[in-house]
Amino acid sequence: MRGGEIQTLGLMRGLRSRGALCTLVARDGGPLLARACEEGFGAIPWRPRGELDAVAAVRLRRWVRSSGARVVHAHTAHALGLALLALMGMRSRPLVVGSRRVSFPLRSALSRWKYGRADAVVAVSEEVRQGLLAQGLDESRVWTIHSGVDLSRFGNMPSRAQARERFEIPADALVVGAVGALVEHKGHRVLLEALAHLKGPSMDPWLVLAGEGELRDRLAREGHDRQVKVRFLGYVQEPAELYPALDVLALPSLSGEGSPGVIKEAAAAGLPVVATDVSGTSEILRDGLEALLVPPGAPEPLAGALGRLLADPALAGRLSQAARLRIQAFGMDHMAQAHHDLYGRLLAARAGSPGADPSKQG
């Protein structure tokens, strides 16, 4: 369950609480389908072999016809391609909404066609939205709705001592944590270099990494070479149980972030944040007000920001307190309501309701 899966399931919960009937079509055997089944949602297992899989598209088309679905929301680029293929030429087809969760540009004519054909595209930050508009998408069809965080998860967290004991972190260590897939664009190698700059007689922080990925072995070697103490936790199902063990949360991403959930979670947990200023990061936590933001790919500024927070608990406390207040506006319920409103406006506009304005930003 990575960010997109968490957001999809959270949206379904929010829509269900508002009376909407939601059915998930997802890859057979995947964790998202299993979780949706456990929570009592309608769930259809799917095994597409690619976004041009005609058999998978026909199956989706049959289900849409039989269900009477009014909105098909595709949460990945491949899902959007399959949805458009499935509904092509269908009379009174449902609305097609696509989500764009990353700041990478649309790299092919097919990608631009897909997002241009959707009735609406939800960009998870204003920067992602502006990037889509710059590539030619119709302004009236692109909406900004930030991803949400389930704030209820942070009401009863373990103590610092309990969290450190559980994750086998020394009680007296200074600890910088990072949560996310161990892949190149997440910037973990830059973070390792930054922590190597901080090593000294008065400061020798640990790095705790929660997540799996192709860079794990390389990061282990580089940590050893740079003499940085690194603790690999693997996939952590509930990061809220980890955050109290950390002193600072780092998000060193180089690119690709849309509306990063990890800094919302850290803020909700009362943990100070240092992040790179990529995509929607500064729309969530502002530099000097709720977090410290640094340029991507620059180990020296990253080291300086981490060092400031590790050495100055008062500053760390002020930033985390302000972030905890600000993050209330990014709750999962707010995200679900914004989608619910968007679907309603789109359906009203299709029906020709007076005053319907599908271009109004949600």
Tell the CATH topology of 3-148+331-351: Rossmann fold (3.40.50)
Under CATH, which number does the domain 151-330 receive?
3.40.50.2000
Task: Say which residues have a Cβ less than 8 Å from residue 207's Cβ, sequence separation at least 6.
Answer: 175, 176, 177, 178, 191, 192, 195, 223, 228, 229, 230, 231
Amino acid sitting at position 20: A
pTM exceeds 0.95: no
Looking at residue 256, its pLDDT comes to 67
Domain boundaries, the chain: 3-148+331-351, 151-330
Give me the tens of pLDDT residue by residue for the chain, a chain 362 residues long.
Answer: 777 898 999 999 999 999 999 999 999 989 999 999 999 999 999 999 988 899 999 999 999 999 989 999 999 999 999 999 999 988 889 999 999 988 788 888 889 999 999 999 999 999 899 999 999 999 999 999 999 999 999 989 999 999 999 999 999 999 999 999 999 999 999 999 999 999 888 889 999 999 999 999 999 999 999 999 999 999 998 999 999 999 999 999 998 677 888 999 999 999 999 999 987 889 999 999 999 999 999 999 999 999 999 999 999 999 999 999 999 999 999 999 999 999 999 999 998 854 444 443 33
Say whether 151-330 and 3-148+331-351 share the same fold. yes
Q: So what's the pLDDT on residue 353?
A: 55
